[in-house]
Amino acid sequence: MKLLFDFLPIILFFGSFKYAEGHKEWATAFANEHFSALVSGGTVGPNEAPVLLATLVVIVATLTQVAVLLARGKKIDLMLWVSLGLVVVLGGATVWFHNETFIKWKPTLLYWVMGGAFAVGQWVFGKNLLRVLLGEQLQLPEFVWRRLNVAWVSFFALMGVLNLWVAFHFSTDAWVNFKAFGATALMLVFTVAQGLYLGRYVEEASGEPAKPSEGQP
């Protein structure tokens, strides 16, 4: 249930875009009837309507996510606040200027903010944020925490670049597919690979910890 809740904005963005893309005449009429005041010039074209409606949906979905967590007294992760800020600002710009370029930058900026946080924490403040987050669940050698940190920084940096490449070298429809499925699949593969790597160092159920040396691969 939590996984579905976390992915709800992406699911709704994908679903609303696909529906509007397949019903452009309806989407254009609906956008002009209900949201013309939100766009400069007051008119939404048929090629702009699907991404505009999907952007409005993802803004509302992310705001709802935060509101539900606040109402339940749950702690809101910093990255969700960052995501909310980016989707409101860049999504708002997409709607007002009816230009999909702004919302296409949102995943990249979020990836780079997350990667930057790990990088600055480690190399500026000397604090490994992964260890702060997971240190109570995982007992790992210090050099493994450092490698994990570098891996996540590199992954987020590359994902940001990949998002831009897909966004500006392929159609908006292809970018939406990548955002919903491609990026999610890459994250899953990376997480599984990381788990396989960590299996060599995590303490065994018997309570006997592995003791690798710094020079081990």
**Chain center to CA of 185:** 12
- The encoded tokens of residue 36 equal 């013309």
pLDDT in tens, the chain (217 residues): 666 778 889 999 999 999 999 999 999 999 999 999 999 999 999 999 999 999 999 999 999 999 999 999 998 888 899 999 999 999 999 999 989 999 999 999 999 999 999 999 988 888 888 888 877 777 888 888 899 999 999 999 999 999 999 999 999 999 999 999 999 999 999 999 988 888 877 754 335 444 444 444 4
pTM, whole model, 2 decimals?
Answer: 0.86
Contact 151, 194 (CB under 8 A): yes
- Name the DSSP class of 216: -
CA pair distance 201, 209, nearest whole angstrom: 7
State pLDDT tens for residues 103-123.
999 999 999 999 999 999 988
Q: Where are the domains of the chain?
A: 1-99, 100-217
Residues written for the chain: 217
Nearest to 54 by CA among 81, 72, 31, 33: 31
